[in-house]
Amino acid sequence: MPSTEVKYEYLEHTADAKFRAYGKTKEDAFANAAEAMFNVMINTSKVDCKHREDIIVNAPEIDELLVEWLSELLFLFEVDFLAFGEFKVENITEKDGEFELSGHACGEEIDLERHEIDTEVKAVTYNDLRVEETENGYMVQVTVDT
């Protein structure tokens, strides 16, 4: 188990990309998962924060909420051609069996050269999906289809 200093790590997967993200809180782990996913596609350290996108998503389960959050970011990447480099999840709440996430991502229009386009992520899968409480906080695990 890596220390909470490690934001995320990639696991071996033959066809797709699989990663674990960590955080002291669920919110931090979800935000780090978004960074892990974007680093499959681009070099997030080259992205300037010029545009902020506020995001609210809902799901009936906490792990599905994670898929919703990542899928929404992926949608914005493709449709609005936005590269994101900074991610913040402000709040994850549960009410009457429905989970809600509010957060934001910060970035700019994709620059094919500067952002070093890497592997295209097609979608976020439910395969071996995990949101777990650990000794140091939270661990989430995601497999994305590439």
Partner 1 sequence: MESGNKITDLLTKIDDNIWEIPEDYSPGMNVPGRIYLSDKLIRDLEPETLDQVANVAKLPGIQKFSMAMPDAHLGYGFPIGGVAAFDEEEGVISPGGVGFDINCGVRLLRSNLTVDEVRPKMKELTERMFEAVPSGVGSKSRLRVTDSELDDIFLHGSKWAVENGYGEKTDLEHCEGGGCIEGGDVGNISIKARKRGRPQAGTLGSGNHFLEVQYVDKIYDQEAADAFGLEEGQVSFMIHCGSRGTGHQICTDNIKTMSQASKKYGIQLPDKQLACAPAQSEEAQNYFGSMICAANYAWNNRQMITHWTRDVIADTFRSDIDELGLELVYDVAHNVAKLEEHEVDGKKKNVYVHRKGATRAFPKGHKEVPLKYRDVGQPVLIPGSMGTASYVLHGGDRSMDISFGSACHGAGRVMSRSHAKKEFQGEDIKMQLEKRGITVRSAHPAVIAEEAPGVYKSSSEVVNVVHELDIARKVAKMMPMGVIKG
- Footprint on this chain of partner 1 (rule: CB under 8 A): 10, 12-17, 41, 59-61, 63-64, 67-68, 71, 75, 77-79, 81, 110, 112, 116-120, 122-129, 143, 145-146
Minimal distance, residue 82 CB to partner 1, in Å: 10
Minimal distance, residue 31 CB to partner 1, in Å: 21
Minimal distance, residue 136 CB to partner 1, in Å: 25
Minimal distance, residue 57 CB to partner 1, in Å: 11
Query: Can you say how many angstroms the Cα of residue 40 is from the centroid of all Cα atoms in its chain?
Result: 11
Say how far apart CA 124 and CA 112 lie, in whole Å: 22
6 or 75, CB closer to partner 1?
A: 75
DSSP-derived 3-state class of residue 50: coil
Both tokens of residue 125? Answer: 């899968």
102 or 125, CB closer to partner 1?
A: 125
Q: Which amino acid is at 127?
A: N
Query: Can you say how many angstroms the Cα of residue 101 is from the centroid of all Cα atoms in its chain?
Result: 12
Region of residue 116 (left: phi > 0; alpha: psi -120 to 50; beta: else)? left
74 or 92, CB closer to partner 1?
A: 74
Strands 98-109 and 130-134: unpaired
13 or 88, CB closer to partner 1?
A: 13
